[in-house]
């Protein structure tokens, strides 16, 4: 099921929708990372860059993937390949930028087969492709339907208000987190 086109949506409405998707997928990414870390380490580990319960890399990655594959109806192999390549490149770039800015690595695949500078690896690239395909084929249509049910009949001001509140919290969290990592 592909993203439904709703007649009459303005560009602002579409942007607000993607902002909501960003936060949903950033939270789900944080949840996946946290569960994984609890399984590996046996206790809670905040796997994100931020204090709050979101991993922006997942939110940005999901939104970029939704936009990039919008017109790929009934082409799961192509969606898998795009997700694999896009998420791998995005993960590499984010790893590089975070290390350049803060001198820290949030993940290291150096011991994995076919890795590139420990930033990405074949195993995780395939994993990202599978996650991307599940997102596009199953998860996003479900979430999209739920959001449309919640917002149906409501004014767009509710969605905008929620979006602006989330953006405000995200910006505050980003500032405090950057200060923490820069040790200002």
- How do residues 20-49 score in pLDDT, each as one tens digit? 999 999 999 999 999 988 998 898 888 778
165 C-beta neighbours (distance < 10 Å), count: 10
Domain residue ranges in the chain? 11-182
Q: Please give the sequence-ordered ranges of beta strands (E in DSSP) within the chain, or none if there are none.
A: 115-116, 120-121
Q: Flag the least confident range among 46-50, 56-60, 86-90.
A: 46-50
Summarised one tens digit per residue, pLDDT across range 100-158 is 988 888 899 999 999 999 999 999 999 999 999 999 999 999 999 998 888 776 667 77
d(CA 140, CA 143): 5
Q: Which pLDDT band holds residue 2 (cuts at 50, 70, 90)?
A: very low
Residue ranges of alpha helices (H) inside 103-155 are 122-134, 140-151
User: What's the confidence (pLDDT) of residue 5?
Assistant: 46
d(CA 128, CA 88): 7
d(CA 138, CA 119): 28
């Amino acid at each position: 099921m592909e993203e439904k086109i709703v007649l009459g949506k303005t560009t602002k409405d579409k942007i607000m929708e993607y902002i909501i998707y960003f936060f949903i997928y950033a939270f789900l990414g944080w949840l996946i990372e946290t569960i994984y870390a609890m399984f590996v380490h046996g206790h809670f580990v905040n796997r994100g860059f931020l204090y709050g319960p979101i991993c922006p890399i997942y939110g940005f990655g999901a939104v970029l993937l939704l936009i990039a594959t919008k017109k790929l109806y009934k082409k799961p192999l192509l969606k898998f390949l795009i997700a694999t390549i896009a998420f791998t490149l995005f993960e590499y770039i984010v790893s590089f930028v975070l290390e350049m800015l803060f001198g820290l690595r949030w993940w290291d695949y150096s011991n994995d087969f076919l890795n590139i500078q420990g930033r990405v690896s074949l195993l995780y690239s395939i994993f990202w492709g599978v996650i991307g395909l599940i997102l596009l084929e199953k998860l996003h249509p479900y979430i999209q339907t739920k959001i449309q049910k919640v917002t149906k009949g409501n004014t767009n001001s509710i969605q905008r208000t929620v979006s602006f509140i989330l953006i405000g919290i995200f910006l505050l969290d980003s500032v405090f987190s950057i200060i923490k990592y820069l040790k200002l």
